[in-house]
Amino acid sequence: MLARARLTFVPALSAPARADFATAVRKGLFALRKRLPCRYLYDAEGSRLFESICALDEYYLTRTERAILCESSDLVVSRLPRAATLVELGSGSAEKTRLLIEALLRRTHKLRYVPIDISPSALAQSARSLLADYPGLSITAFAAEYGAGLARVHQLHGPKLVLWLGSNVGNFTRAQAARFLRTVRAGMAPLDRLLMGVDLRKSGAILARAYDDPAGVTARFNCNLLARINRELGGAFDLAQFRHRATYDAARGRVRMELVSQCVQRVPIAALGATVAFERDEAIHTEDSFKYSLREMDVLAAAGGFAVEWRGLDANRWFSLNLLAPRAD
Ligand code: AVJ
Q: Is ligand 1 within 6 A of the CB of residue 90?
A: no
Q: Give the distance (Å) from ligand 1 centre to CA of residue 32.
A: 25
Does residue 12 carry a pLDDT above 90? no
Q: Give the distance (Å) from ligand 1 centre to CA of residue 289.
A: 6
pLDDT of residue 16: 59
Ligand 1 atom closest to residue 61's alpha carbon, by position in its atom list: 5
- C-beta of residue 257 within 8 angstroms of C-beta of residue 222: yes
Residue-wise pLDDT for 99-147, tens only, equals: 999 999 999 999 999 999 988 999 999 999 999 999 999 999 999 989 8
Q: What is the band of 19 on the pLDDT scale with cuts at 50, 70, 90?
A: confident
Q: Is ligand 1 within 6 A of the CB of residue 312?
A: no
Q: Is ligand 1 within 6 A of the CB of residue 212?
A: no
Q: Give the distance (Å) from ligand 1 centre to CA of residue 310.
A: 24
What's the pTM?
A: 0.95
What are the backbone dihedrals phi and psi of residue 164, each rounded to the nearest 5 degrees, phi first?
Answer: -140, 85
Q: To which H or E segment does residue 259 belong?
A: strand 254-261
Q: To which H or E segment does residue 267 belong?
A: strand 265-269
pLDDT of residue 15: 55
Q: Give the distance (Å) from ligand 1 centre to CA of residue 118.
A: 15
Average pLDDT over residues 294-315: 98
pLDDT of residue 1: 44
Average pLDDT over residues 70-97: 95
Coil/strand/helix, residue 105: helix
- C-beta of residue 167 within 8 angstroms of C-beta of residue 253: no
Coil/strand/helix, residue 13: coil
Does residue 220 carry a pLDDT above 70? yes
